[in-house]
Amino acid sequence: MILSIDELRQENDLVFVRAVVEDVVQIRFQTYHEPAEYGPALCESSFYLDEDEQLPENEEQLLNYLNSLSLDWEVLPNDWD
């Protein structure tokens, strides 16, 4: 699930998204008593719009639309590593 959109760019029918996505990186290892814990990270993805399709203009509707897609998110490296 997308927590916030950092950048959204459209080139013709191709849309690029950079966003903070929850539960994509492991932040705590699994122990004998506890499961692994996951947290948010800055990620990128892209997708194609259909010819007659437009992106929602309202931010809430845009988040809902993007969350409804099955996007393959690529975790971006941390600048502080």
pTM (two decimals):
0.85
Q: What would the pLDDT profile of 17-40 be if each residue is shown by its tens digit?
A: 999 999 999 999 999 999 999 999
Identify how many contiguous H helices and E strands the chain contains and give both numbers: 1, 4
Percent of residues, the chain, with pLDDT higher than 70: 98
Label residue 81 by pLDDT band (50, 70, 90): low
Measure the CA–CA gap between 12 and 31, rounded to whole angstroms: 48
Average pLDDT, the chain: 94
Measure the CA–CA gap between 42 and 24, rounded to whole angstroms: 9
Label residue 45 by pLDDT band (50, 70, 90): very high
Q: What are phi and psi of 27, to 5 degrees?
A: -110, -15
